[in-house]
Amino acid sequence: MSRTDKILERRKEIYSLLSSLFLGDIPEKFIEDLREGKFGLSGSTDIEEGLKVMREFVMKRNTLGEAIRDIEDEYSRFILLSHAAPLTKSEMMGDAEYGKISLEVEEKIEKMGYRLRTNTIPADHISALFDFMATLIESSLNGDEELKVSLKKQEEFLENEILTWVPESLKKFEGSAEFYGGVARFARGFLAIDRNIVKELRLW
């Protein structure tokens, strides 16, 4: 595997992981890797501190199952019930769910030649946005789309549909939620460095 493919693969893994976490689908392998200190990613203080918070949370639990149950409980209480932070661009901008903003995001995705892999959440949901980034990366890895073309789409989507509101929303989790406070800080750090990674890859 080439250096570029390794970078793309890792980026796809992180976006897929974040998509799952913000959907409340907790990957057992990720939690197990956290417990065993096997999940590593560096590049910024936010990434490292976010991972530290997540690992401390799971290490306070006696078993893997207990850790996952407590994370799922936090997701239900903090994200689904309290709505402490916006999970859609629509909510962030004061629009109705499945309204104009959500439709605009879906249309942008379709204009790029893609369709969302799920219709259970709005197109502008943070989980859907991260999943779409993973899909774009996967398409270039599979050779379905020329790398330069895909990177241009990734950069545009990241700049226009993610970075415009997601980091601000993520800040609302920090200091309020425990595990998801760590997820939020990790995600903010990752998005910040990924912006630079995409720009660099386009110059290669």
For residues 129 and 183, what is the distance between their CA atoms, to the nearest angstrom?
16
Q: What is the DSSP letter of 172?
A: T
Q: Is the pLDDT of residue 82 over 80?
A: no
The whole domain housing 35 covers 3-203
Phi, psi of 88 (to 5 degrees): -130, 155
Domain count, the chain: 1
Where residue 80 falls among pLDDT bands split at 50, 70, 90?
A: confident
CATH number of the domain where residue 162 is located:
1.10.3480.10
**60 and 69 in contact (C-beta within 8 Å)?**
no
CB burial class (10 A; 0-12, 13-18, 19+) of residue 8? buried
pLDDT in tens, 127-180: 999 999 999 999 999 989 999 999 999 999 999 999 999 999 999 888 778 999
The three-point CA angle 146-88-195 to 5° equals 40
Tell me what the pLDDT averaged over the chain comes to.
93
Q: Is the pLDDT of residue 113 over 90?
A: no
For residue 85, what pLDDT is reported? 84
The three-point CA angle 92-98-102 to 5° equals 60
